[in-house]
Copies of this chain bind each other. A is one copy, B any other.
Amino acid sequence: MIRLLKSRTDLALQIGRLKQDMGKGVTDRRREDELREDVRSLCRELGMSESLGARFLNFLLNESVSVQSTGISTHMDIFMRAKSLEAQGRHIVHMEVGEPDFAPPDVVRGSMTDAFDRGFTRYGPAGGMPQFRDALARYASKNFGADVSPSGVMVTPGGRFAVYLAISLLDPGDEIIVIDPAWPAYAQCAQSSGVKVTTIHTDMAGGWEPSAEQVKEAAGPGTRMLVLNYPNNPTGKVLSAHAQDEIVGAASDRGLYILSDEIYWQYAKPGWKSVLGSGYDKSIVVQSFSKSHAMTGFRVGYAMARPDVIGSMVARQAMLMACVAEPVQYAAMQALGADTDARSQTIMSRLDVISDMAKKMGLEFVRPDGAMYLFVRIGRDGTRLARDLLERGVAVAPGEAFGDYRDYIRISACQNEETLIKGMNIIYGNLGNRHG
Contact = CB atoms under 8 A, between A and B. Distances in A.
A164 B123 CA distance: 18
A56 interface: yes
A319 B59 contact: no
A112 B327 contact: yes
A122 B291 CA distance: 11
A97 B112 contact: no
A160 to B, nearest CB: 6
A53 B300 CA distance: 43
Contacts of A188: 319
A338 interface: no
A299 B325 contact: yes
A109 interface: yes
Contacts of A67: none
A185 B2 contact: no
Contacts of A39: 2
A120 B295 CA distance: 10
Interface residues of A, number: 73
Interface string A171-198: 0100000000000010011001010000
Nearest to A59: B59
Identical subunits present: 2
Contacts of A326: 297-298
A275 B403 CA distance: 44
Q: Is the interface of A mostly helix, strand, loop or mixed?
A: helix
Interface in A316-367: 316, 318-328, 331
Nearest to A323: B299
Given A76-B318, A122-B99, A299-B324, A5 B189 contact: no
Contact of A320 (B9, B103, B160, B323): B160
Contacts of A331: 112, 327
Contacts of A204: none
A43 B46 CA distance: 29
A404 interface: no
A113 B112 contact: yes
Interface string A127-167: 00000000000000000000000000000011011001000
Nearest to A191: B319
A296 interface: yes
Contacts of A121: 103-104, 108, 294-298
Which residue, A42, A76, A103, A298, has most C-beta atoms of chain B within 10 A? A298
A320 B161 contact: yes
Contacts of A242: none
Given A48-B5, A48-B6, A123-B97, A157 B325 contact: yes
Nearest to A79: B123
B4 A1 contact: yes
Interface in A114-129: 115-117, 119-124
A297 B319 contact: no
Interface of A: 1-6, 8-9, 39, 42-43, 46-49, 52-53, 55-56, 59-60, 63, 76, 97, 99, 103-104, 108-113, 115-117, 119-124, 157-158, 160-161, 164, 172, 185, 188-189, 192, 194, 294-300, 316, 318-328, 331
14 contacts: A1-B4, A2-B42, A6-B48, A9-B52, A99-B122, A103-B119, A111-B112, A112-B116, A113-B113, A122-B297, A157-B325, A160-B319, A164-B320, A194-B194
